[in-house]
C-alpha cells in the first residue's frame, strides 16, 4: 500500500497552520523568512496555490511571483542595508520543499556568496527576537517599495 504524500509545510503556512515570520502577503502570494537562511534577511516567496515547480505554474501565478519578487528584492535590500539582492528559483534539484518558491537574499560586495567552488553555508538567527526584528524591518520597507 503506497504511503500518503507528506503534507506541504508551505501550504500549512498559507493556511495559517505553520509557523513563519511572514513579511508580505497579497491575494496570490505570501513571503516569509527562510528558517535556514543563507544570509540574514533571506526571504522565501511562494504562491498561495500549491504548485510544485515553475513548469506547473499558470501565467497568473508566474506573473504574481515575478511582480512580488521585484518588490521584495527592493524591500530586502533596503531593510538589510545591502548592496543588492540575489533572486532565484530552483526546480527539483536542490528543491527541499516541493512547492514553488523564490529565494530573495540580501547581498553585499565581497560577501563570498559566489566563488569558483560554491558552498553555501546556512546561518542562524541568534534567537526568535532577531528574526522578528528583521521581519519587521522588511515589512516596514515594503510600505515604500
- What is the structure's pLDDT at 17? 93
- Domain holding 96: CATH number? 3.30.428.10
Q: Is residue 8 part of a domain?
A: no
Mean pLDDT of all residues belonging to the chain: 88
Of 40, 99, 101, 103, catalytic: 101
pLDDT, block means (10 residues), the chain with 145 residues? 68 94 97 94 97 94 97 97 93 80 92 66 81 88 83
pLDDT tens track for 41-80? 999 999 999 999 999 999 999 999 999 999 999 999 999 9
Q: Distance between CA atoms of 103 and 90, rounded to whole angstroms?
A: 9
Radius of gyration of the chain, Cα coordinates, nearest whole angstrom: 15
Q: Is residue 10 part of a domain?
A: no
Q: Which domain holds residue 134?
A: 20-112+121-138
Q: Is 101 a catalytic residue?
A: yes
Which residues make Cβ contacts (< 8 Å) with residue 131, sequence separation at least 6? 21, 33, 125
Q: Distance between CA atoms of 41 and 92, rounded to whole angstroms?
A: 24
- DSSP class of residue 15 equals T
Q: Are 28 and 60 in contact (CB under 8 A)?
A: yes
**What is the number of structural domains in the chain?**
1
Amino acid at each position: 500500500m503506497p504511503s500518503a504524500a507528506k503534507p506541504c509545510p508551505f501550504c500549512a503556512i498559507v493556511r495559517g497552520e505553520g509557523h513563519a515570520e511572514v513579511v508580505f502577503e497579497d491575494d496570490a502570494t505570501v513571503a516569509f523568512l527562510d528558517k535556514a537562511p543563507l544570509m540574514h534577511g533571506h526571504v522565501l516567496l511562494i504562491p498561495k496555490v500549491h504548485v510544485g515547480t515553475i513548469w506547473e505554474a499558470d501565467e497568473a501565478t508566474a506573473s504574481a511571483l515575478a511582480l512580488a519578487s521585484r518588490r521584495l528584492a527592493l524591500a530586502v535590500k533596503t531593510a538589510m542595508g545591502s548592496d543588492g539582492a540575489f533572486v532565484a528559483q530552483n526546480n527539483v534539484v536542490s528543491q527541499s520543499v516541493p512547492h514553488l518558491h523564490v529565494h530573495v537574499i540580501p547581498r553585499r560586495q565581497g560577501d563570498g556568496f559566489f566563488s569558483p567552488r560554491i558552498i553555501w553555508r546556512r546561518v542562524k538567527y541568534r534567537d526568535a527576537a532577531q528574526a522578528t526584528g528583521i521581519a519587521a524591518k522588511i515589512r516596514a520597507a515594503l510600505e515604500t517599495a
